[in-house]
Amino acid sequence: MLNKEDIKFEKITAKNLPKETLISPGHRACQGCGEILAMGMVMKAAGPNTIVANATGCMEIVTSPYPETAWRVPWLHVAFENAGAVASGIEAAVQVLHRKNKLKEKPNIIAFAGDGATADIGLQSLSGALERGHDFLYVCLDNEAYMNTGIQRSSSTPYGAMTTTSPPGIKSKGQYTWKKNVAMIAAAHNIPYVATASPAYYLDLMNKVRKALAVDGPAYIQIYSPCPTGWRSKPEQSITLAKLAVQTGAFPLYEVENGRFKITQKTKELKPIKEYLQLQRRFRHLADDDIAYIQERVQDEFERLKALAGLDA
Amino acid sequence: MGKRIGTEVSLAVAEAVKMAKVDVVSAYPITPQTHIVEELSQIVADGHLDAAFIPVESEHSAMSAAVGAAATGARVYTATSSQGLALMHEILFIASSLRLPMVMTVANRALSGPISIWNDHADIMAERDIGWVQLFVENGQEALDLTIAAFKIAEDKRVLLPVCVNMDGFILTHMIEPVELPDQELVDKFLPAFEPALKLDPQNPVTMGPVGVPEIYTEAKKQWEQALIHSKPVVEEVLNEWADIFGRKYNLIEKNGPEQAETVFVTMGSLGETLMSAVEELNEQGENVGQVRIRLWRPFPKEEFKQAIQGVKKLIVIDRALSPGAVNGPVASEIKTLLYELDDKPEVVNIIAGLGGRDVTRSDFKAMLEKAQKGELKDDYTIWGVRSHAK
Ligand SMILES: Cc1ncc(C[n+]2csc(CCOP(=O)(O)OP(=O)(O)O)c2C)c(N)n1
Ligand code: SF4
């Protein structure tokens, strides 16, 4: 297994930010879209020697309507639930063709998929790819619902959120299950690198990508991606929301290197979850006791994460 | 010339894949395909083939990984059957519409339910319109030969489509037969290294699998259809080249029996071999009966088929798949459509036989002929050999 010291990469700082944009402007994402922002950052960190496999979803749709393309790297879209398997095939081909001298330099291989494509329908293909140990990075762009098909709930939708298939009503509070923790599921595969990231902490995000690409074997990064369209939030508040999600503990930032947990964005005390929830109309229907329940559960999960990271344990 | 050995047909297919020097095999086990992929994984493990063997977690992923690998410029092989093929369904269309060459053996098997591991053609008939070149083989030698030839067809710049080689489960896959292994040198000459037309290459980035807006979708589909239709002469050319080098000639449509047969049986797959001996016996008994075997199922060789049945009075079309609620079985429907335009059409009767591994014997063929001659078969289709308590 790999040691932390073995991971070598050029750290990105505010001074040496890569200038090249590999996803061109003019794509069709909504204003304030967190997914496209995150994806652009990932690509900056990865650089042009990269092959991308993209699952069906918002990011595939907004970047590829023929005859236009926003991609400046080789890019392949196959279907909704198979980015993990498609990337497995790309990786296997790269390894063999390199060994046979038909390919000079090995490219980075990155799979992008939404939370629906990752946490639900594509979980099996992701798990298979992680278990087999393919050397690639899987990025889940987590906007907490199926946005491309019109804001339906996924198993990554947070408790209480209103979506078109988890509507609040007399008999419903909205989404009735707690957010599925795919980063933990990925970590349970004992892969070399797992992280959560947020476009609000862009240097952290990019350096996590660099680390993930430097390890030998699969890496998984889940990136919190505000979606003004689906969350009924203001486009100009996407970064504020991304920050608040971290500061309230709704989406804590951590990494798992060879099984060792580390919280990468330290928060002395979590801000009240209400500050985060009230900026999004998807939570507008929640009553105070619902918010109190969420607050309790977020706190609880955060303590468990701290324990895993060896803090206060 | 090559080496003659006795081997299980599945192992011969694995040997063919090895001789084709594939780069990537991605596969998931399902009876009766298992022996092929087990053997291949052993061949790779023993270092006899420099390839990646991806033991995926499902057939859906087997086909998805195959697509990823082919798009990256690798020569790719997979094999499946029945439920596995059905699970691949979604991705099969994508493989062909992305114009990615690859070869897949389908060890034909019935679809559930009830669950059945035995042979019929229901699996591939549900995948008729996937835009792949589809071949049916009859025996071990043909399975081996056409597996190698399939790569050449798939990779031809005029084709660039995936090819599936259908072989009857158990009846062929698990049979031990004498086969001639071609010389590797000649195979290399016949099948040079794969040079992809386009690949995922950071030096020359391309976008593959974009959104097809309504303005271009029809055009994309038309190109897809044309690619498949235009593969027919290439299939012929490749099979002729095979005959030149290896001395075994395969036609798109195979004809057997008297030149002016009055009644002709039409089959696909291994049934043709049983039928051959039945036809021989029937001819000896004075029956003017012949047979036609369809080797290339997609694209359907229309002209060759019409040529083969010229002057025939009656066609007995055997389907090994049921198409509930349809007018006929899939093969008979195809043939009737084709014959519609002819002034001098033969009568067509359709028999659904050999479902889920039910044996179809020489005496069955004789009984079919008899019933057909007496006019006892129905206009649409007859399910052959149904046991019933009803008197
Ligand atoms: C097998 C299959 N089922 C359903 C769909 C329809 N579909 C396309 S994208 C999508 C939702 C995507 O959601 P997510 O993965 O969260 O990505 P987002 O659009 O939110 O970025 C769905 C349900 C599909 N393409 N394929
Ligand atoms: S719907 Fe949401 S995720 Fe999709 S493009 Fe718009 S903002 Fe981005």
* Residues A31 and A65: beta-carbon distance below 8 Å: no
Residue in A72, A82, A95 nearest the CB of B64: A82
Q: Does A74 touch chain B (CB under 8 A)?
A: yes
Does the distance separating the beta carbons of A85 and B65 come in below 8 Å?
yes
Smallest CA–CA distance, residue B38 to chain A, in Å, is 18
pLDDT in tens, chain B (391 residues): 789 999 999 999 999 999 999 999 999 999 999 999 999 999 999 999 999 999 999 999 999 999 999 999 999 999 999 999 999 999 999 999 999 999 999 999 999 999 999 999 999 999 999 999 999 999 999 999 999 999 999 999 999 999 999 999 999 999 999 999 999 999 999 999 999 999 999 999 999 999 999 999 999 999 999 999 999 999 999 999 999 999 999 999 999 999 999 999 999 999 999 999 999 999 999 999 999 999 999 999 999 999 999 999 999 999 999 999 999 999 999 999 999 999 999 999 999 999 999 999 999 999 999 999 999 999 899 999 999 876 5
Residue in B51, B62, B72 nearest the CB of A94: B72
Residue tagged 């797959």 (tokens): B269
Residue in A66, A67, A92 nearest the CB of B69: A92
Smallest CA–CA distance, residue A256 to chain B, in Å, is 25
Q: For residue A20, how far is its CA from the centre of ligand 2 (angstroms)?
A: 23
- Residues A32-49 have pLDDT tens digits of 999 999 999 999 999 999
Q: For residue A157, how far is its CA from the centre of ligand 2 (angstroms)?
A: 15
Distance, in Å, from the CA atom of A261 to the CA atom of A307, rounded to the nearest integer, reads 9
DSSP string spanning A162-186?
Answer: -BTTB-EETTEES--SPPP-HHHHH
DSSP string spanning B338-360?
Answer: HHTT-SSPPEEEEEE--GGG---
DSSP string spanning A22-71?
Answer: SB-TT--PPTT-HHHHHHHHHHHHH-SSEEEEE-SSHHHHHH-BTT---B
User: Which residues sit opposite A51 in a β-bridge?
Assistant: A109
Smallest CA–CA distance, residue A214 to chain B, in Å, is 18
Task: Give pLDDT, residue B52.
Answer: 98
Contacts of A136 (CB under 8 A, 6+ apart): A87, A88, A90, A91, A108, A109, A110, A111, A129, A218, A219
- φ/ψ of A300, rounded to 5, equals -60, -50
Q: By three-state DSSP, how is residue B26 classified?
A: strand
The residues lining ligand 2, judged by C-beta closer than 6 Å to any ligand atom, are: A 29-30, 33, 35, 58, 62, 143, 147, 227-230
Does the distance separating the beta carbons of B202 and A49 come in below 8 Å?
yes
Angle, CA of B24, B30 and B32, to the nearest 5°:
105
Distance, in Å, from the CA atom of B12 to the CA atom of B173, rounded to the nearest integer, reads 9
In whole angstroms, how far apart are CA B288 and each of B261, B268, B335, B345? 5, 21, 21, 18
Query: Taking CB atoms and an 8 Å cutoff, what residues of chain A touch B205?
Result: 71-75
Query: Taking CB atoms and an 8 Å cutoff, what residues of chain B touch A76?
Result: 67-68, 71, 200, 208-209
Pairing of strands B103-108, B76-80: parallel
Contacts of B331 (CB under 8 A, 6+ apart): B266, B268, B294, B317, B318, B319
Q: ipTM exceeding 0.90?
A: yes
Ligand 2 pocket: which of A37, A39, A143 to mutate (most atoms within 8 A of CB): A143
Distance, in Å, from the CA atom of A186 to the CA atom of A182, rounded to the nearest integer, reads 6
Find which of A51, A80, A106, A148 to mutate to test the B interface (most B CBs within 10 Å of its CB). Answer: A51
Name which of A11, A1, A245 is nearest A142 in CA terms.
A245
Q: Whose CA is nearest to atom 5 of ligand 2?
A: A29
Query: Taking CB atoms and an 8 Å cutoff, what residues of chain B touch A96?
Result: 23-24, 50-52, 74
Which residues 108-127 of chain B have a CB within 8 Å of chain A? none
Residue tagged 């979708």 (tokens): B217
Encoded tokens for B177: 């037969």
Smallest CA–CA distance, residue B94 to chain A, in Å, is 7
DSSP structural state of residue B194? P
Does the distance separating the beta carbons of B209 and A93 come in below 8 Å?
no
pLDDT at A6 > cutoff 60: no
In whole angstroms, how far apart are CA B120 and each of B37, B126, B167, B353? 21, 12, 10, 9
Query: Taking CB atoms and an 8 Å cutoff, what residues of chain A touch B73?
Result: 93, 97, 102-103
C-alpha radius of gyration, chain B, whole number: 21
Q: By three-state DSSP, how is residue B189 classified?
A: helix
Amino acid at B205: P
Query: Taking CB atoms and an 8 Å cutoff, what residues of chain A touch B207?
Result: 64, 69, 71, 74-75
Name which of A228, A240, A209, A242 is nearest A280 in CA terms.
A228
- Whether omega for the bond prior to residue B32 falls within 30 degrees of 0, making it cis, is yes
Task: Give pLDDT, residue A2.
Answer: 45
Mean pLDDT, residues A81-93 taken together: 98
Residue in B54, B72, B204 nearest the CB of A132: B54
The whole-model pTM stands at 0.97
- φ/ψ of B251, rounded to 5, equals -100, 160
The ligand whose atoms approach the alpha carbon of A199 most closely is 2
Query: Taking CB atoms and an 8 Å cutoff, what residues of chain A touch B162?
Result: none
Residue tagged 């977020």 (tokens): A298
CA A199 from centre of chain = 10
Task: Give pLDDT, residue B386.
Answer: 96
b vs e for A85-124, b when ≥16 Cβ sit within 10 Å of the residue's Cβ?
Answer: bbbbbbbbbbbbbeeeeebeeebbbbbbbbbbbbbbbbbb
Contacts of A248 (CB under 8 A, 6+ apart): A270, A271, A272, A273, A275, A276, A298
Does the distance separating the beta carbons of B200 and A76 come in below 8 Å?
yes
Residue A72, number of CB atoms within 10 A of its CB: 17
